[in-house]
Structure 1
Amino acid sequence: MIDDAPEGIRDLLQALRAEPFRVSLATSAAHGYQRAQVLSPDLVLLDVRMPGMDGFTLCRLLQELQPGRDMPVLFLTSAASEEERLAGLSQGAVDYILKSCSPAELLARVRIHLRLTRRGTLEDAPHDMPMGRDEVVLRAAMRYIGQRLADSLSLDVIAEAVGTYDKRLSAIFRQRVGTTVFGWIREERLRKSRELLTTTTLGMQDIALEIGFSSAANFATAFRERLGVTPGEYRKAASEDATRDATTARA
């Protein structure tokens, strides 16, 4: 459990500790991240409104902490607005529970998610080793950006969303990817555009807006500079290749 004011949920904590669970309490997001890294918990109960790093940011980092291993995050919070609930679930949390719930309801939800997680991992391969903090931040930033390619994101916004600051995030990208954050965004937008060109019938303007270009003309210019052909030429060649492959397979 990660909550900066555990005294406000004393009855819920007592109910958890009365069960055959090993309960570890962290009173800040940074402390919670360290505990999760060391203890590799089966489930995390996470508050939203915390100083320094909020629960949404921490949730993004926890999802990248141990690739290949299910570690369900359940928000347990007084942040009750619809916007906050939807934001929490969109970060990858499996449940969003209000602190006003009864101890019995909390226990029921925890048991359900523990059972689902165990069922899903019985035949899994051995878990990968936990990653270092920089790798976690990098993966979290890439996921965050990938889900918002249509948006105009500043370096400050991206860094804050993954629990770091702009200069540190820039250094992580340069050291581990060999490019700047915005260089990576540009490449990711063009990679996504190639996917959309070959798997959809979207027009050029729609594709441009989907991946964050202001117009089809700007998209076409960037695409041609990077790949040497226009988006239309790329789509036509990909379609011809697919038709040729299908003909060969039938033969």
Structure 2
Amino acid sequence: MKMVTSPHILLVDDSVQELQQLSATLRAEGFRLSMASDGRTGYQRAVVTQPDLILLDLIMPLMDGLSACRLLKADPATRHIPVIFLTAKNEPEERLRGFQLGGVDYVAKPVLAAEVVARVRIHLNRRDIYRPQRDAVMTPSTNPDDVLFEAAMREIREHLEALPSIPEIAQRVGTHDKRLGQIFRERLGLTVSAFIGEERIRQGRDLLAKTDMGVEQIATQVGFGTGANFTTAFRKRMGMTPTHYRQAIQSQPPELA
């Protein structure tokens, strides 16, 4: 007879009081529990223990919840695990940012233990949504540098319009700018700055080909201060202005465009 094990929850929070309160409640409900007090340790524990669900505080030392979620969703070994954020910053912008990173739910602090249990059960009952990917990822974790690389590329691609500094990008994915630069050079032969420049031109090229947005609007969306700056960089990289590129694309037969 096959033994059925209870769901395993990973609780990541730097508040001793919150850890004690929630761990007591979750254990009383029959859940198996692992705990961590910062985002990096939480990510590492998730890789090793493969929990069924993660309760992740947003504000923590060393690595916050958003940075930890970036790593969790960049790593094939953990991206399938549902993440519920615990936060005292119950603002719409913060919620949207968490959902964009892959979180499935939020619980506002101070938490009501019964609400946490209810939300945990809801998302555990939805595990079949995530299981199609699960068999493919139950292998040893990828190289940590690969995870950082994927998380940083995603951060850059999703925030070109208002991109933070390279040290801040590195901090958001849990490293420092020198290491991040080394990782990019090893994998792409480019500095982080050079990759950002290439990505801005790539996205600008896609928008020119697939939309009717004006050059100024595209320039803003991909992070150039002005249309003139975008045009200068585009001509240098592509050998023609954005306008000429769009005309060339539109003049091609549909099967070649």
Above 0.5 in TM-score? yes
Name 2:238's counterpart in structure 1. 227
Match of 1:37 among 42, 47, 51: 47
The structural deviation recorded for 1:152 is 4.5
Root-mean-square deviation (Å): 2.3
Report the number of matched residues. 246
Bigger mean CA deviation after superposition, 160-169 or 235-244: 235-244
2:170–2:180 CA contact under 8 A, matched in 1: yes
Gap runs ≥5 in structure 2: 1-10
State yes or no: 1:23 paired with 2:33: yes
Query: Percent identity between the aligned chains?
Result: 45
Divergent runs of 4+, >4 A: 122-125
- Where in structure 2 are the equivalents of 1:47-196 lying within 5 Å? 47-66=57-76, 69-122=79-132, 126-127=136-137, 129=139, 130-196=141-207
| Per-residue Cα deviation, 1:39-77 (whole angstroms, up to 9, x for no partner) | 122211111111111111111111112269411111123
The structural deviation recorded for 1:188 is 0.6
What amino acid does structure 2 have at the position aligned with 1:131? T
CA 1:132–1:216 in structure 2 vs 1: closer, same or farther (change >3 Å)? same
- Which TM-score applies when normalising by structure 1? 0.88
| Per-residue Cα deviation, 1:12-58 (whole angstroms, up to 9, x for no partner) | 22221123432111122222121011112221111111111111111
What amino acid does structure 1 have at the position aligned with 2:68? L
Gap runs ≥5 in structure 1: 247-251
Q: Kindly indicate which of the two structures has a greater share of residues assigned to strand.
A: 2
1:70–1:117 CA contact under 8 A, matched in 2: no
| Per-residue Cα deviation, 1:78-137 (whole angstroms, up to 9, x for no partner) | 333455444433433111102333322211111111222323424866226422211111
Distance 1:240 1:3 in 2: 57
Distance 1:29 1:86 in 2: 19
Distance 1:139 1:100 in 2: 34
- Which TM-score applies when normalising by structure 2? 0.86
Distance 2:71 2:133 in 1: 25
